[in-house]
């Protein structure tokens, strides 16, 4: 009878436990790591969002000083565009970023589509050239473009300004569009274009009606990324601008040496952050609603 019970117990536990192999479970270290990991996550979140929170609080400060909060006010938002130099820098930033993004999106989309149909060797060479602006340091890119534009100074002494900074922005955001389009081209059916041409559609119309709608997700994501990078750029724009054409980042940098920045800068920065957050929330809401349908 005792042997039968022993055999039943052996069958119910056919495998040896870790303790039987001499493995010691360090419960204290596991619990400690859980606590430390949570603390690290909280610290990372604080480091990421604390500057945004500070700027948001400062945008409601009634004082121009950044070291004391004298009272709550909405006047900074009401007078956001009252200062002419700040207003001009905001307009210049939006104008440069929007035009550069539009041009880079169109050109980058066609380059990405064309690169998909190249031979593997040619495509590899093209991707190598495309990755150079991404891997290159911003200060090297800015100085290099400045030297190139300087070659045209004997022809036009006032060449530095809107056009130079626009060309520079197109140059360093173009690779992001290409890298967003090429993966989407790999996802579509390779016979779609041939099928459209066999049905009698002209190549340009087939490209516009078949290929571009199929990769519009990659085009849109690349466009948003390119606009964001162009909007917040400072280094490249600092070396390629001139003749009083200041973007917002350059205007802020030139104002650092003063007693304090205009409080309207904090209000504008907070407004941009709010718009970005609202856009992300709205996009996720629309996407989930489509998925539920």
Note the Cα 156 to chain centre separation in Å.
35
What does the alpha-carbon distance between residue 166 and residue 75 come to, in Å, rounded to a whole number? Answer: 33
pLDDT at 25: 61
Reduced to 3 states (helix: H, G, I; strand: E, B; else coil), residue 261 is: coil
- 39-78 pLDDT, tens digit per residue, is 999 999 888 888 888 888 888 887 776 667 778 888 888 8
Q: Which residue has the higher pLDDT, 197 or 7?
A: 197
How sure is the predictor about 14, in pLDDT bands with cuts at 50, 70 and 90?
A: low
pLDDT at 211: 84
Q: In 205-244, which positions are buried (b, 16+ CB within 10 angstroms) versus exposed (e)? A: ebbeebbeebbeebbebbbbbbbebbbebebbbbbbbbee
Hunting for tokens 């970023």 — which residue is that?
A: 97
Over residues 258-271, the mean pLDDT reads: 75
Nearest CA-CA partner of 91 in 284, 276, 289, 268: 268
Structure tokens belonging to residue 227: 């606009």
How sure is the predictor about 8, in pLDDT bands with cuts at 50, 70 and 90?
A: very low
What does the alpha-carbon distance between residue 46 and residue 58 come to, in Å, rounded to a whole number? Answer: 17
Average pLDDT in the chain: 82
How sure is the predictor about 2, in pLDDT bands with cuts at 50, 70 and 90?
A: very low
pLDDT at 249: 86
Reduced to 3 states (helix: H, G, I; strand: E, B; else coil), residue 233 is: coil
Over residues 163-181, the mean pLDDT reads: 92
Nearest CA-CA partner of 245 in 171, 134, 167: 167
Q: Are 123 and 217 in contact (CB under 8 A)?
A: no
Q: Is the Cα torsion angle 153, 158, 159, 160 positive or negative in sign?
A: positive
Task: Reply yes or no on whether the pLDDT at 135 is more than 80.
Answer: yes
Q: Are 241 and 160 in contact (CB under 8 A)?
A: yes
Q: What is the pTM of this model?
A: 0.77
How sure is the predictor about 99, in pLDDT bands with cuts at 50, 70 and 90?
A: very high
- 177-208 pLDDT, tens digit per residue, is 999 999 888 888 777 777 777 777 787 887 88
Task: Reply yes or no on whether the pLDDT at 173 is more than 60.
Answer: yes
């Amino acid at each position: 009878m005792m042997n039968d019970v022993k055999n039943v117990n052996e069958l119910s536990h056919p495998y040896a436990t870790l303790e039987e192999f001499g493995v010691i479970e360090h419960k204290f270290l596991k619990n400690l790591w859980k606590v430390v990991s949570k603390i690290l996550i909280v610290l990372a979140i604080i480091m990421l969002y604390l500057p945004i929170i500070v700027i948001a609080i400062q945008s409601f400060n009634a004082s121009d000083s950044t070291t004391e909060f004298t009272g709550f006010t909405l006047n900074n938002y009401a007078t956001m565009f009252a200062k002419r130099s700040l207003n001009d820098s905001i307009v210049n930033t939006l104008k440069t970023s929007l035009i550069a993004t539009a041009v880079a999106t169109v050109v980058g989309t066609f380059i990405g589509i064309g690169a998909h149909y190249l031979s593997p060797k040619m495509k590899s060479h093209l991707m190598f050239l495309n990755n150079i602006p991404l891997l290159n340091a911003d200060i090297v890119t800015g100085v290099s473009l400045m030297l190139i534009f300087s070659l045209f100074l004997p022809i036009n002494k006032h060449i530095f300004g809107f056009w130079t900074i626009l060309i520079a922005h197109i140059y360093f955001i173009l690779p992001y569009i290409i890298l967003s389009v090429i993966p989407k081209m790999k996802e579509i059916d390779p016979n779609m274009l041939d099928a459209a041409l066999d049905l009698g559609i002209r190549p340009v119309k087939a490209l516009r009606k078949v290929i571009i709608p199929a990769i519009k997700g990659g085009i849109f994501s690349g466009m948003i990324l390119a606009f964001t990078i162009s909007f917040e750029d400072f280094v490249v724009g600092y070396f390629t601008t001139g003749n009083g054409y200041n973007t917002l980042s350059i205007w802020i940098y030139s104002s650092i040496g003063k007693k304090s920045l205009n409080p309207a800068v904090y209000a504008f920065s907070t407004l941009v952050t709010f718009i970005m957050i609202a856009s992300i929330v709205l996009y996720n809401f629309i996407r989930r609603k489509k998925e539920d349908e």
